[in-house]
Structure 1
């Protein structure tokens, strides 16, 4: 798709050159004494070299062409060819710049994807460690609760033993 856009741009430039050459050629035919403009167009040259059947009716053949006319025509063809080469070179340079830009964008996207994968992996590691720490904390809480129940049971037994022993001593004193 990119190549078509670049090629269309070149075709547009060529068409402009052709329009310019046609205008210049027509102006020279109307004013042969005028000084030649160095911006000829390819369309005018093509009409002079070989008109199509449709164009033949509009432009009668030029039987009075002089060697100077042919020399001018050759100069115009060379100028048009030079412009076409310049336009093509510019299009190729632009295509190269676009390809380089696309390569850089691809590299940036690859680097960004790698950073995303690394961040996701790091987040997964953190989540795994957090889950392990939470499980360990839950286990310690359960162990602490079990120790607290055991300690309360022992304290209750000690309290009952103390109460029973002092109560029994008081009863013996009262009975004696």
Structure 2
């Protein structure tokens, strides 16, 4: 005997409650809408209690196909979510490395700036010392010039008078 003919609808209903034909057909129609169109089954209508076992088999196949498809979609969604998490983690690591590189660059910049300040101060001191030496040298040069000019002027006037 066919498995579909062994069981009656009443034995399958929950709590042995009587099922009215219109409410069960409406519920089946809702289930069928979730699965998709049933063009192959009974001219596009959902199976009823009086439908053939072949119609019910097609419906079961469709339900299984829909469940398989839902599992595949869920698996793909989980894979994509995993990839997003991996990309996010990679981005966080890249951001952390970039922040470390920025800190290192800022430290190097501060070190270079402090060394440049020291060198500029030393150069400034050397310039001041050189300017002082130049001032002293000009002073001595001026004294030497004045001395030479005074000495030769005296002798020059003495020669002219003699």
Q: Is the TM-score greater than 0.5?
A: yes
Residue of structure 1 equivalent to 2:57: 71
Tell me the TM-score normalized by structure 1: 0.58
Please provide the CA RMSD for this pair: 3.2
Tell me the TM-score normalized by structure 2: 0.62
SS at match of 2:49: coil
Correspondence list, 1:3-82, <5 A: 21-23=35-37, 25-30=38-43, 62-82=48-68
**TM-aligned CA deviation for residue 19 of structure 1:** 5.9
Question: Deviation per CA, 1:55-88, whole angstroms, max 9, x where unpaired?
Answer: xxxxxxx230344444333332222211111110
Residue of structure 2 equivalent to 1:145: 131
SS at match of 1:63: coil
Aligned residues: 131
Question: Deviation per CA, 1:119-151, whole angstroms, max 9, x where unpaired?
Answer: 233233222222222222121111111111111
The range that moved more, 93-102 or 165-174, is 165-174
Given the alignment, which residue of 113, 128, 134 partners 2:99? Answer: 113
Call closer, same or farther: CA 1:107–1:114 in 2, change over 3 Å.
same
Gaps of 5+ in 2: 1-31
**TM-aligned CA deviation for residue 107 of structure 1:** 1.9
SS at match of 1:91: helix
Relative contact order, CA 8 A, sep 6+: which one is greater? 1
Query: Could you tell me how far apart the structure 2 residues matched to 1:124 and 1:90 are?
Result: 50
